[in-house]
Structure 1
Amino acid sequence: MRKFKTEYFTNVKFLKELVVQTRKSSKIKKYLLLATRLLLLTFLIIAFAQPFFKAKDSKNATNELYIVLDNSFSMQAKGQKGELLKRAVQDLLEHTPENANFSLITCSDNFWNTDIKSIQKELQNLKYSASPFQLDNLLSKIKAHKSAFNKDIVVITDGVGLQPNQVKNIKDDENLYFIIPEAEKTDNIAIDSVFINQTMDNFYEISVKLDAYGDDFKDIPIALYNKKKLAAKTLVNFESKTKTINFTIPKEDFHGYVAIVDNSLEYDNNYYFSISKPEKSNVISIGESEKSGFLSRIYTSDEFNYINYSLQSLDYNLLDKQDAIVLNELKDIPQALQTTLKSFVEKGGNVVLIPNEESSTTNLNGFLSNFGGVQFKALSNKEKMVTKINFSHPLFSSVFEKKVDNFQYPNTKNSFEISNSAPMVLGYSDQTSFLSAIQNSISSIYVFAAPINKINSNFQNSPIIVPTFYNMGQNAQKAGINALIIGDNKPFIAQTSLNKDEIVNIKNGTESFIPVQQILNDKVKLTFNDNPKEAGNFEIFNSSKSIENLSFNYNRTESNLANANPDAVSDYKEISNVDAIFDTLQANRSDNQLWKWFVILALLFITLEVLIQKFVK
């Protein structure tokens, strides 16, 4: 049988090849579409499941944020972008998220559970604080603010006065971060204090002590103002780190300040002070008249109202009107007198105790137990030399221009051994105390270890007896400079009588406040707490009547910018700025949400399917 061979025409052959190729292309397209749709479905399912990777610090995601902002005076220093405090405030305003809830604590103000918009005006008007930056105190405030959540604490400070022990009580669940701006220059000149160096017949010589911190100083002007009127002016050059400038002023009321001009901190460039026209101090001595003659030669009538009483003739009603009372070798101090003297000291009076050889140590110690610090032991018959002077004690701080060690040493034949925790004013050669001072904020009790009559001692012939008793008899408020430190809380005794419903207030042209007050017969004990807010010259008023001038100054603890100590917190994380703080907390505590990526992949495969449908034949 004959076989036939099939022969294709040329165009038919091409059609067959095209059909075979089309079948293969269609098969690939179906597989591609199947794959894209399967992947699309898979990614959609995973996206709806919302997978995520847990953040490394997710346990602190609910932490409360506390920002501690240092607004002490050292933050007046200038950094690269201006004053450190103003730059820190601007940083907070610009980079704190509007929806961020936090608490802000400064040296002077607290803003609890707030946000940046709510306190914008307060931050822009934030003033420097008279209170120095004490991180431990501010952290205690945060600790006392009870919360169920852990805490993130961000501290913004230049580090002046910062100490490692200030953060020792931080708990493990409290995260501490530091932003430490740096001052470009640490040179600064401060007026440290003003005191009366010398009292003359018609003039005071006042001394102004200045401290220079740093190395590069030029001559600076210093001016003295009385009631805002220029009284004197000169230039100061600093060949040493400490400089004292003297001014002579009339011996009358002074109510003004000393001012310098430098290119660093401003807060310590003014020192306000008041001097009252001298009044006679009232002094009583109680004891035998023949032993009190030396006191009448010291307490002369031009400066003192002095009188001596025997114990039997003493009028107790006079005691409250005195500035100082000398117990001159009384054999026994009656209980009634002890009680009166305790009240007298509490009202600002000074007491000088000179023991008698026949005094009972039990009686002396019973009296001194009201004040603490000194207790008498047995009488010793050993002769001793008085060779030690405490030149830094207020009794002698303005007496000696320089330390001396060749003065005529007085001696005592009999003296009491004493146990003494009070400051020694004069001492024996065996390092025991001859004269001790028990001091409180408004008065002093001076205790001699031995009788100083001429039989037992030649102390009355020593030149040092004059400044010793003279200064013990002075009322510092009557004869000295009235200049208090804001925040020291040192009481002040105002000489005025108040009725039951009357109060004392203190004011100047810009500020007024009512101090805490305690009526003490014809005096009022004033306590100021953290008032006033700004340093300056003030007047004390009883109703509308001006009683006395008084001045307040800022504490100088912030003046030395070299005290910046960022190394004290080197164990904690330091951040460059506020923006970085929020970025760090967000990055460490936000879970890595993966569902977004799967949605993106799903969209990608939808697009890919469209492209396959369009371009793959």
Structure 2
Amino acid sequence: MVQLRRAKRVIFSNVRFIQASKDLTASQRNLKELLILLCRILFIVFLVLAFAQPFLPASDAAAPADASEVAIVVDNSYSMQNLHAEQDLTLLNIASDRARDIIRMFPGSTSFKVISGNSPGHGAPVQESEAEGFLTELDFSAKDLVFSRTATASRASHTFILSDFQKSTFKPSLLQGYDSTTQVHLVPIAAAATSNVAIDSVYLEDEFIRSAADNVLHVSLFNAGEEALEDVQVRLIVENRQVAALSVNLPPQQATEAVMNFRVEGAGTKRAYIEVEDYPVEFDNTYYFVLSPASNIAVTEITDNASSSLQRLYQNEPFFSFTSYTAGNINYAQAGTSDIIILNGVANLSSALAATVANFVKEGGTVAVIPPAGGEEAGYAALFQNLNIPASFTGATAASSKTNVAPPDPNNPFFRTIFSEYDPKMQMPAAVRSVAWSRASEDILKYRGGAPFLSRFDRGNGHLYMMAAPLEQDFSALANHALFVPIMYKLAIGSYKQQQALAYTLSGSTIQVPAISKTKKEGVYALQKDSLAFIPEQQVRGGKLFFDTPAAMDEAGFYTLQMQDSTITTLAFNYGKAESNLAQYAPDELRALVGPGRENVHIYDAEDAFSVKDAFEKRYFGVKLWKYCLILCLFFLMAEIALIRFL
């Protein structure tokens, strides 16, 4: 008896939920099974190959990649404060991250030298973990990355240099210290922008600093970017108190000078600085300088008139130290220490006096020549010839016609602080023209016809001021004019020179300041900032101290020069200006600079770390294929799952 299963009837409320059955033929089923089998076989094959670690041979077999020592040179100068082109991180952070990736390319037995401007661990060879720790500790330094120093410090087979490669600091000649056995790898770190505002320098309109009086400071600001900047705020701080502020517009890629008027109160050295607001490179936003109190200005007059008008003029002001000599009775040693020597109507200028005055000008002194009413001209001719001044006497007498002097130019720096209210129609004095000249460095006053009346000649390190007429009433009315006193004061004040500069750079040349007399104290001079003290190489000669900035000093600010427990003076130090120009070489520009003759220098594109890693491994390690095998393993595993699930 055959028993058949009775079909069971299932009632659905909606036939939409009934899944359609797929009819598979035997050939289709066999194809599916073959594809699944093929995927499994390929999965196993590539898995085995992944463990076997196959590779393609290196393209540069001459340079071994398994070097026992590798140098990692990281530029940590202040320009690396700039932001990266693709990430919101500083260039130093990016350089440190890429240096870690480079370290991980080498076997664990490799030792590394981490070299920077202030190398942690002093560039000693260390293992991978310690090298990565050094990279984490890196901070910005004022010491520029000296490639020649890194070349001698590193004799590794491979040296990686990670830097922004500034156009202002990098030169191809810096790589000459690396011989052909060292493979040098330049890894540029591209910045997002090169805009930056830096304080280039400051100087006083005249170096004579007067307490409770107006002083004029000139500030040079440099915009290194390619776009103009408007309303850049500039502040002047003296002894932690803001004394002046202004806003300036800065054209692109050029320097702009701002003028600030300020006053200082009280005696003694004043610590001051200029401050601007700029981001992200901030190391050059502050410029430190010192305002030293001005000592008395030494004025020496040589004249034939025992009661000249200059005596009363200069002796009325306590900040002038006035001395007068006749032409035949001169203390040359005393006169040589003056700030300014005034030859006032000397009729017979001896050859010895002419030579002394010429040397005084060449060595940095200031001389004012007021011609005599008459006398020998040979001495003046020798003086003019010695200083190469194209001047000669015209032979004018008191009976000669006089010409009015033209009103001064109010924009001339010589007159900038003289006039409270300038009147272009002011009454000017008349004078004859006893001396004529041409080609002066600057004409301060002119006759109405355009001929110079008072001019400045720059010779050597000093200046000579020439007046065209004597001060006698028969020749000139200047001595009775209101301009006479401020002009003569300005000549004397302009001759004053501070015994030390307003500021110095940390990488500057030899510094000279007055030294303590040996009869007072003997010892070693030191520069101190807070709790840090630096002893520079020093030499005392001619009453002056000469020293170089210690190499360990890398922080801008104020330093006191001390001998034992006595403070000699305060000096201001600032960073060098090369780092402020952020323009950098592109990889193609670097290749063009290095040239084809340096086969051991390799330049990578400024991209991510993988491009450097892949290019290096392909050249020296070969192309490792295990990771591609692993990828194919995963691909065929996913293909098998897809075949089972969907086919």
| TM-score normalized by the length of structure 2 | 0.61
Q: CA deviation at 1:494?
A: 2.6
**Structure 1 residues 556-571: aligned runs within 5 Å:** 556-561=577-582, 563-566=583-586, 568-569=589-590, 571=592
Question: Structure 1: which amino acid aligns with 2:435?
Answer: N
Distance 1:263 1:175, change over 3 A: same
Q: 2:171 and 2:357 mapped to 1: Cα distance?
A: 47
Question: Structure 1: which amino acid aligns with 2:349?
Answer: K
Instruction: Report the counterpart of residue 503 of structure 2 in structure 1.
Output: 483
Matched, 1:306 2:322: yes
Instruction: Report the counterpart of residue 556 of structure 2 in structure 1.
Output: 535
Deviation track 1:268-314 (CA, whole Å, cap 9, x = no partner) reads 22232222334322232345446974476367532211212235433
Question: Structure 2: which amino acid aligns with 1:183?
Answer: A
**Structure 1 residues 425-574: aligned runs within 5 Å:** 434-438=455-459, 444-448=461-465, 453-454=470-471, 465-466=487-488, 469-477=491-499, 482-489=502-509, 491-494=511-514, 496-499=516-519, 501-528=522-549, 532-561=553-582, 563-566=583-586, 568-569=589-590, 571=592, 573-574=603-604
- Greater mean deviation of Cα atoms: 301-310 or 233-242: 233-242
Give yes or no for contact 2:82–2:191 (8 Å, CA) kept in 1.
yes
Q: 2:405 and 2:456 mapped to 1: Cα distance?
A: 10
Instruction: Report the counterpart of residue 75 of structure 1 in structure 2.
Output: 80
Q: 1:337 and 1:202 mapped to 2: Cα distance?
A: 40
**Structure 1 residues 121-200: aligned runs within 5 Å:** 123-130=135-142, 138-141=146-149, 145=152, 154-157=161-164, 159=166, 161=168, 177-196=185-204
What RMSD in Å do the two structures reach over aligned CA positions?
A: 5.7
Q: 1:179 and 1:311 mapped to 2: Cα distance?
A: 71
Give yes or no for contact 1:158–1:182 (8 Å, CA) kept in 2.
no
Q: CA deviation at 1:332?
A: 3.4
- Greater mean deviation of Cα atoms: 74-83 or 99-108: 99-108
The percentage of counterpart residues that share the same residue type is 19
Q: 2:496 and 2:260 mapped to 1: Cα distance?
A: 25
Q: 1:177 and 1:393 mapped to 2: Cα distance?
A: 55
Q: 1:211 and 1:582 mapped to 2: Cα distance?
A: 41
Distance 1:121 1:502, change over 3 A: farther
Question: Structure 2: which amino acid aligns with 1:250?
Answer: E
Q: CA deviation at 1:574?
A: 3.1
Instruction: Report the counterpart of residue 19 of structure 2 in structure 1.
Output: none
Instruction: Report the counterpart of residue 375 of structure 1 in structure 2.
Output: 388
Matched, 1:57 2:57: no
Distance 1:263 1:67, change over 3 A: same
Distance 1:459 1:554, change over 3 A: farther
Q: 1:427 and 1:170 mapped to 2: Cα distance?
A: 57
Distance 1:554 1:405, change over 3 A: farther
- Greater mean deviation of Cα atoms: 548-557 or 63-72: 63-72
Give yes or no for contact 1:72–1:130 (8 Å, CA) kept in 2.
yes
Q: 2:173 and 2:522 mapped to 1: Cα distance?
A: 44
Distance 1:81 1:325, change over 3 A: same
Find the residue that maps to 2:98 and give its secondary structure: helix
Give yes or no for contact 1:380–1:417 (8 Å, CA) kept in 2.
no
Distance 1:438 1:270, change over 3 A: same
Distance 1:591 1:132, change over 3 A: closer
Aligned length: 518
Find the residue that maps to 1:161 and give its secondary structure: coil
Distance 1:237 1:103, change over 3 A: same
Find the residue that maps to 2:503 and give its secondary structure: strand
Specify every segment of 5 or more residues in structure 2 that has no aligned partner in the other structure, as ranges: 1-54, 397-402, 595-602, 627-647
Q: 1:411 and 1:121 mapped to 2: Cα distance?
A: 80
Distance 1:365 1:267, change over 3 A: same
Q: Give the number of the structure whose residues are more often strand, by fraction.
A: 1
Find the residue that maps to 2:92 and give its secondary structure: helix
- Greater mean deviation of Cα atoms: 124-133 or 484-493: 124-133
**Structure 1 residues 224-373: aligned runs within 5 Å:** 225-227=237-239, 230-232=240-242, 237=247, 239-240=249-250, 246-253=261-268, 254-289=270-305, 293-294=309-310, 297=313, 301-319=317-335, 322-326=338-342, 331-334=349-352, 338=356, 350-352=365-367, 354=369, 358-359=377-378, 364=383
Q: CA deviation at 1:57?
A: 3.1
Distance 1:516 1:244, change over 3 A: same
Question: Structure 2: which amino acid aligns with 1:180?
Answer: P
Question: Structure 2: which amino acid aligns with 1:202?
Answer: A
Specify every segment of 5 or more residues in structure 1 that has no aligned partner in the other structure, as ranges: 1-51, 369-373, 597-617
Q: 2:290 and 2:100 mapped to 1: Cα distance?
A: 42
